[in-house]
Structure 1
Amino acid sequence: MGQHSAIGVLDKAVAILAATATGPASLAELVERTTIPRATAHRLAVALEVHRLLVRDAAGRFVPGPRLAELAAAAADPLLERAGEVLAWVRDTAGESAQLYRRDGLDRVCVAAAERAAGLRTTVPLGARLPLTAGSGAQVLCAWEPAETVATLLREAEFTDRVLAEVRRRGWAQSVGQREAGVASVSAPVFGRGRRVVAAISISGPIERLGRSPGPRFAPILTAAAQRLHDPRPDSPRS
């Protein structure tokens, strides 16, 4: 279970949380990953759920909860520290509003944004929660997840597993009127350690300005920005 303190119940609770970091976990999977007895694992998982440190996905499996993100927001976050400058560059280079999204359960949350100063634009407020079932940002955040993780989402999604395979192949996603009529968007994945997608960087704007195939035009800007946001810790590669 990793490091141990003098407080056994705390060590077990941390082990339960850590077990969900590798992917959604049923009770049986929590027991397997932690070796904690089933009754104890269940009691701790439910207690963590009460405090919103764990939540359950559509399949009833335990996943990290929003309280973790809220606590993390109070700590130094290298990604967000770099996001303002990078998003401003994307906005100025692409001429469109730029956003950074992180996944939170079955939603994506806008954690940073840079809006156009003038003209027709799409505004995504900081902290806005959008579904993982539509839009290029949702495609990016789902594309590198295990198939079993997104299987339930795909039943309601405006995109298919084939679309996600194409996103993985080319390294970016686009959508035209998928989440909101009249709006187009392009997104690229921001990778952390172990090639894990930690965020999606996006631009969005009216279809009449971005066009009906905006990806080839804007993807190079977004993929370059994503490289600048790549996990900056010393043992991770960065541009």
Structure 2
Amino acid sequence: MEDVELDGGMSKTLHSGLRVLELLSAHPDGLTVTEIADGIGVHRTVAHRFVRTLEAHRLVRRDRAKRIRPGAGLVPLAEPVERDLRAVATPLLEELADECGATAHLVSQEDDDHVRALLVVEPRRASVHIAFRPGQLDRIDRGSAGMAILAARPARADERTEVGEARTRGYAVSYGEVIPSIYGISCAVPGRRDSAPISVGVSLFDLADEQRLAGLVGDCADRLARALG
């Protein structure tokens, strides 16, 4: 779960309720009330009240085994988030995933220190590929997606050497920084002056054909920039 530091202007109760949703999002097969209580560090009775409230809003549901799962009420809440961006990007990332035979991703800067995966597209014809869920939060200075975004900015004295290298070559490469033993190659999407910076990239097992992959990722980033206007 995301590490949020509470201050005096925040609601501790709401914070705990939101942590229930974050916990369930990481366990789509469901959790018991006791497991939820242990996961967010509260008494079982308190966790039960959180679950009952979230059930009333259809944000969680109980399956036949009485395990708590994410509910359908989350869908309309998430659907408006970057709707136009995801709609435009989806066919381009589908094409990128199939051309590379690798999982493609669209990542957006969340805050000064983090990026979040907005869209993850798996290749349709690859025999094996990497799988991870949209919504994943990672440090901006770890992994090719965040480093590509940093490389699109002016150089800083305290930046990683890999960011400077990405700025020089035009794309970022990482290995094992987000998913163990997995390569990432990403390019920033240009022209996002008034919107959150974004990058597109692929995650794959082998980077033997780096130049070809970099060309495909860069072309996808440029096409997405043109499509977004």
- TM-superposed CA distance for 1:125, in Å, is 0.5
Q: What 5-or-longer segments of structure 1 have no aligned partner?
A: 1-45, 52-70, 155-159
Greater helix proportion: 1
- CA–CA separation in structure 1 for the residues paired with 2:81 and 2:205: 36
Equivalent in 82, 86, 94 of residue 88 of structure 2: 82
Equivalent in 219, 222, 229 of residue 217 of structure 2: 222
- CA–CA separation in structure 2 for the residues paired with 1:204 and 1:231: 24
SS of equivalent residue, structure 1 residue 141: helix
Q: Does 1:144 align with 2:143?
A: no
The verdict on how the C-alpha distance between 1:197 and 1:163 changes in structure 2, with shifts beyond 3 A counting, is farther
Q: Does 1:114 align with 2:121?
A: yes
Q: Does structure 2 conserve the Cα–Cα contact (< 8 Å) formed by 1:135 and 1:185?
A: yes
Q: Does 1:205 align with 2:204?
A: yes
1:22-52 per-residue CA deviation (whole Å, 9 max, x = no partner) reads: xxxxxxxxxxxxxxxxxxxxxxxx99x859x
- CA–CA separation in structure 2 for the residues paired with 1:129 and 1:183: 17
SS of equivalent residue, structure 1 residue 230: helix
The verdict on how the C-alpha distance between 1:185 and 1:130 changes in structure 2, with shifts beyond 3 A counting, is same
- CA–CA separation in structure 1 for the residues paired with 2:154 and 2:78: 24
1:101 maps to what in 2? Answer: 107
* TM-score (structure 2 length as normaliser): 0.58
1:50-101 per-residue CA deviation (whole Å, 9 max, x = no partner) reads: 59xxxxxxxxxxxxxxxxxxx9962674422211100001011111110000
SS of equivalent residue, structure 2 residue 87: helix
- CA–CA separation in structure 2 for the residues paired with 1:126 and 1:72: 11
Counterparts of 1:22-171 in structure 2, within 5 Å, are 74=80, 77-105=83-111, 106-117=113-124, 118-145=126-153, 151=158, 154=159, 160=160, 162-171=161-170
- CA–CA separation in structure 2 for the residues paired with 1:179 and 1:91: 19
* TM-score (structure 1 length as normaliser): 0.55
Q: What is the aligned residue count?
A: 157
| Aligned structure 1 segments of 4 or more residues deviating by more than 4 angstroms | 193-197
- CA–CA separation in structure 1 for the residues paired with 2:152 and 2:134: 24
The verdict on how the C-alpha distance between 1:169 and 1:73 changes in structure 2, with shifts beyond 3 A counting, is farther
| Identity %, equivalent residues | 22
- CA–CA separation in structure 1 for the residues paired with 2:147 and 2:104: 16
The verdict on how the C-alpha distance between 1:75 and 1:185 changes in structure 2, with shifts beyond 3 A counting, is closer
- TM-superposed CA distance for 1:169, in Å, is 2.1
Q: Does structure 2 conserve the Cα–Cα contact (< 8 Å) formed by 1:173 and 1:215?
A: no
Q: Does structure 2 conserve the Cα–Cα contact (< 8 Å) formed by 1:187 and 1:200?
A: yes
